[in-house]
Amino acid sequence: MLSVQELIENALHKILKTPTTIYGCGRTDSQVNASQYFFHADIAESFEYDLVYRLNKALPSSISIYEILPMEGKPHARFDATHRQYDYFLHTYKDPFLNMQSSLYLHPNLDLAKMNEAVNLLPKYQDYRAFCVHPDKNEHTLCHVSQANLYVNAAGDRIRFNILSNRFLGKMIRILTGKLIQIGRGRMSVSEFEHHLITKEIPKILTPAYPVGLYLSKVTYPYLDLAPRASLMSPEQNTEWLKL
């Protein structure tokens, strides 16, 4: 199965007539999507045609190129990023039209107030060792979470977990989401959740939420801060989402 990187590099090779390597802003788990994503490439030859148009014609419908930005110097799509924002969408009723963009959890009576209480704790702590699959593989487990919010639709059956940090650990967001669902079901208390944040003690069971429903939704650089193009990712402009 070809990766997104391979598909884009193959398309660039076809159009530019020369092998072209791209460098993305990060890696995600299989089945995780990105509604905003940056990559950089060094293209020596100038071109007079619309490369965005040609790339979109060559790529499958699941990949969209929105814009090409000429950059000065040697900026790096991955290492220059200062903040990354992720969104996790889940719904609690079966709906085939949501299956490709949100995860189904048939738990219609989640305690949203308790879940929100746990979410509000996240910016108060910086060490996320307890919520990482392989913490010892990292140089350190510090993540400066500057924003964490929970949104819900008017019916209370669609939920969105939004989190912003300078970095994330392996499966960290999916593990946090899994714990939030446990809290919503009454299978974990908020104080127990905070205990792991305080002590950095890894829970006996780490069950990440499903990958479908997780989106890399915004990447920020010192020299570039663009709003996501996908309307799905704009709760401030989308009246469907109510912040708890």
Length of the chain: 244
| Mean predicted confidence (pLDDT) in 133-157 | 95
In single-letter form, the type of residue at position 238 comes to N
Q: Tens digits of per-residue pLDDT, 201-221? A: 999 989 999 999 999 999 999
| Selection from 68, 74, 78, 101 nearest residue 226 by Cα | 68
pTM: 0.90
Given a cut of 80, whether residue 233 has pLDDT beyond it is no
| Mean predicted confidence (pLDDT) in 113-125 | 98
Do the Cβ atoms of 122 and 156 come closer than 8 Å?
Answer: no
Q: Where are the beta strands (DSSP E) in the chain?
A: 23-24, 33-34, 39-40, 83-91, 103-104, 145-152, 158-165, 214-220, 242-243
Q: How far apart are CA 219 and CA 34, in angstroms?
A: 10
Do the Cβ atoms of 102 and 241 come closer than 8 Å?
Answer: no
Q: Tens digits of per-residue pLDDT, 12-71? A: 999 999 999 999 998 777 778 888 999 999 988 888 889 999 999 999 998 999 999 999
Q: How far apart are CA 106 and CA 87, in angstroms?
A: 20
Q: Tens digits of per-residue pLDDT, 70-109? A: 998 889 999 999 999 999 999 999 999 998 889 999 999 9
Return the pLDDT at 235: 46
Given a cut of 50, whether residue 236 has pLDDT beyond it is no
Active site residues per annotation: 29
Helix/strand/coil for 198: helix
